Structure 1
Amino acid sequence: MVTDQKFDSIRPYRDHEMKEVFEQLMKEESFKRLLLYLFPQIPIDSFTNKLLSLKTIKEFQIEIIYPFIKDIIKKTTHGLSCEGLDKLDPSKSYIFISNHRDIVLDSAFLNILLHDHSHDTCEIAIGDNLLIYPWITKLVKLNKSFIVKRNLPARQMLMSSKLLSEYIRYDITERNSSIWIAQREGRSKDGDDRTQSSLLKMLDLSGNRNFEESFKELQIVPIAISYEYDPCDYLKAHEALLKKENPDYKKTQEDDLKHMGAGIKGRKGRVHFKVGTPIKNELKPLAALDKNEQISGLAELIDEQIHNNYKLWPGNFIAADIINANNNFKNKYTKEDVVTFHEYIDEHISRLDKSADAVFIKNTLMEMYANPVKNFYKELSRI
């Protein structure tokens, strides 16, 4: 029988481990500084006592994480909305596979919505490249995150991927706990959302040889996440410029922290989650194909739901008309929308170094906002 012990190196903490972990965190000065920054109105001793009084992970999420994320929603968005969760059975577990916009908030917002719709919160896949300090690892594992190991040698990567796959299947089928994982490694930098075949191959490592049954029991549910404004858009565009100038460019850990901060604090406009339907019956036609075709076919099924369910905002249509040098979508926005969108884009570009190629940055931003429109109408034409 498989148990938690097999997955100790990657799994989240459980209730019985909380007290010891909190005691360890209280010895970390950088963690204390974080508490003072996030909760300046609460004396550190009071907050420490509060944390140590918590008995379950659920209490930690509801009493600490939930109000914190709710405050972010109130201060940085014009509302968080959702469709589709009411059509899922709260007693069942799912793998939520979504497009990826924000390092922290995609999964945090999803857990708010799950809780508000009477579902258990899900466990969250997080890359170890973001775990810059040991205390960050402890903190995210307290918030139901499990670790995805990156940049390993080939043999170790295969072993790590197999363990990860086994853990996800164990979580779904034995612990009845839902999972959130992004459709690709890292966020989409250009708004062109595509599911990586490597993700699906990893999930398949723990299955039996029957492709249909293996993926059916995982209950994959695609989610389309749509931010009216991506607070990290200018940083992503600048990263694209740096890669254009130097193909070997890679973000530093400090860059990741900057992106996290910008994502949490930056304005987002309206945010919408459209939860799709479990992929089950659609798997049958794929069964007769070879393995690579099965994987690519499943990726297309996930992408189809994400593209079709993506909530398009006025800025998306404005950017599409700019990219295509026409006004095909002029009925989708007003003159005021155009002014607001251009003011937003110009303000974000102004945050970058004056030496940056402003034309490239602006074109990249337009593509970023226009690509969801292109994908939506491409999928629509197939119906």
Structure 2
Amino acid sequence: MMDEFEAIRPYADAEVPAVMARLFADREFLEILARFRFPRLAGSLGWLLKPLIARRLHGEFAGIHSVDTLQERIEFYLDRTIERATDGITYSGLDQLKPGSAYLFLANHRDIVMDPAFVNYAVFQARMRTPRIAIGDNLLQRPFVSDLMRLNKSFIVRRSLTGRREKLAAYQVLSAYINHSIRNDGESVWIAQAEGRAKDGDDRTDSAILKMLHMSRKDEESFAETLTALRPTPVSISYEYDPCDQAKARELYIRATTGSYTKAPGEDDTSIALGITGYKGRVHISFGRPIEEIPDDAKQLAAAVDRQILGSYRLFPVHYLAYRIWDERDPQLAIPSLAELFSEEEIARAEAEWSKRLAACPSVQQPYLIQQYANPVRNRYRLESGLEP
């Protein structure tokens, strides 16, 4: 059965030692690590640092023969990242999940690597098995990135195919793999609610992704039956500050003024690095209730997922500050003042950080920066007022 998934599946325990050995010999991988760990020395002393880093990695990761052990070791690095780049991480709703059950985590998507990493971290802390992670092949341009991700329980979504027939065949395999993971292997799966990050802060589930999940089971069961078996569970991740917010504002501005946007070579790598190391403020991950009453219509299910994701998105002071100056404020909504919700100290800190971000953003791009932080406020209060978000 696993053979049909050979090209997309994560690595199995037996493959770990060989893949690690390949990584430790990859010059490009060692170069990036050298730049990340020793930014000032990497240029002139890169030739000296690479063999040292390779030896250090051998020492740290020698004797690891399973994915679980590798994830335990990686947790130490994630702890360090959380310490350096955030003001702390909180999570809620984990008590609604049963250890030993597998879920389909449908999550909003703001950051390429950190969204699934933080969900993994929360699940790991709760002593549950971490999910397998869906990742687009557009991010796997280099062999070592593909190796790293597949070692960490990622499987590949083949987004770069252009022919209709190849796309359909790839989605068929993807659908079968996700169903096989949850229903046969008892392994949870993390997948973003839509393709690509929500660059405007408006988190919406694409019903086409939900339809794809049913594709491989169409002949045996209805949409509702398939989705019920997958236990869809909305996950809402909120960053107080998005390290990539300026880059997202620039992209949205270029799209709006020219009609399209072409990524520069290496742009995804820059987003990944900035997303991992950049300052995020506080981070909150909210696990929603697994949806049990599944409608037989993908659009209705998408709306049910959205209600949970938008309703449990944690709003920080910066979101209200952005909403206050947003041109698209909704006059029907009664939004509480900052003073009703946060302490003076919290508001002062947020005002300082927000003015810094606005000042760093060219004025023509500012509306696109503002909407990233303002949209979650509108969505939450529309929901609370009984309006469609």
Residue 36 of structure 1: aligned partner: 34
Residue 304 of structure 2: aligned partner: 301
Pair 1:84–1:68, CA change in 2 (3 A) = same
What SS does structure 2 have at the residue aligned with 1:225? strand
What SS does structure 2 have at the residue aligned with 1:81? strand
Residue 313 of structure 1: aligned partner: 316
Deviates more, 1:47-56 or 1:117-126: 47-56
Partner AA of 1:301 in structure 2? A
Cα RMSD of the aligned pairs, angstroms, is: 2.1
Whole-angstrom CA distance in 1 between matches of 2:282 and 2:380: 19
Matched, 1:223 2:232: no
Q: Is the 8 A contact 1:315 1:337 kept in 2?
A: no
Aligned length: 366
Q: For residue 382 of structure 1, report the CA deviation from its aligned partner.
A: 2.3
Q: Is the 8 A contact 1:321 1:329 kept in 2?
A: no
Q: For residue 33 of structure 1, report the CA deviation from its aligned partner.
A: 2.1
- Aligned 1:323-334 pairs, distance under 5 A: 323=326, 324=329, 328-330=335-337, 331-333=340-342
Q: For residue 351 of structure 1, report the CA deviation from its aligned partner.
A: 4.7
- Aligned 1:139-288 pairs, distance under 5 A: 139-152=148-161, 153-207=163-217, 208-280=220-292, 282-283=293-294, 286-287=295-296
Residue 101 of structure 1: aligned partner: 110
Q: Is the 8 A contact 1:132 1:253 kept in 2?
A: no
Q: Deviations over 1:290-331 (max 9, x none)?
A: xxxx01001001001101111111111222222239994322
Q: Is the 8 A contact 2:16 2:67 kept in 1?
A: yes
Deviates more, 1:321-330 or 1:6-15: 321-330
Whole-angstrom CA distance in 2 between matches of 1:306 and 1:328: 19
Pair 1:111–1:190, CA change in 2 (3 A) = same
- What is the TM-score when the length of structure 2 is the normalising length? 0.89
Quick one: which of 64, 75, 98 aligns to 2:84?
75
Residue 132 of structure 1: aligned partner: 141
Q: Is the 8 A contact 2:254 2:260 kept in 1?
A: no
- What is the TM-score when the length of structure 1 is the normalising length? 0.90
Whole-angstrom CA distance in 1 between matches of 2:98 and 2:307: 22
**Uncovered stretches (5+) of structure 1, i.e. residues with no partner:** 288-293
Pair 1:50–1:236, CA change in 2 (3 A) = same
What SS does structure 2 have at the residue aligned with 1:272? strand
Residue 371 of structure 1: aligned partner: 375
Whole-angstrom CA distance in 1 between matches of 2:224 and 2:330: 44
Whole-angstrom CA distance in 2 between matches of 1:174 and 1:69: 30
What SS does structure 2 have at the residue aligned with 1:269? coil
Quick one: which of 103, 120, 124 aligns to 1:115?
124
Q: Is the 8 A contact 1:317 1:333 kept in 2?
A: no
**Uncovered stretches (5+) of structure 2, i.e. residues with no partner:** 39-48
Whole-angstrom CA distance in 1 between matches of 2:64 and 2:343: 50
Residue 22 of structure 1: aligned partner: 20
Whole-angstrom CA distance in 2 between matches of 1:66 and 1:100: 21
Q: For residue 371 of structure 1, report the CA deviation from its aligned partner.
A: 0.8
Q: Deviations over 1:181-212 (max 9, x none)?
A: 10010100111110011111111102233222
What SS does structure 1 have at the residue aligned with 2:298? helix
Pair 1:89–1:325, CA change in 2 (3 A) = closer
Q: Deviations over 1:190-244 (max 9, x none)?
A: 1111001111111110223322211100011001111111111111001111112
Whole-angstrom CA distance in 1 between matches of 2:56 and 2:347: 48
Whole-angstrom CA distance in 1 between matches of 2:370 and 2:213: 34
What SS does structure 2 have at the residue aligned with 1:78? coil
Whole-angstrom CA distance in 2 between matches of 1:315 and 1:350: 15
Q: Is the 8 A contact 2:318 2:354 kept in 1?
A: no
Q: For residue 346 of structure 1, report the CA deviation from its aligned partner.
A: 3.9
Whole-angstrom CA distance in 1 between matches of 2:336 and 2:324: 7
Q: Is the 8 A contact 1:349 1:361 kept in 2?
A: no
Q: For residue 45 of structure 1, report the CA deviation from its aligned partner.
A: 1.1
Q: Percent identity?
A: 36
Q: Deviations over 1:28-84 (max 9, x none)?
A: 101122343455698531322433410101111111x21111111111111110001
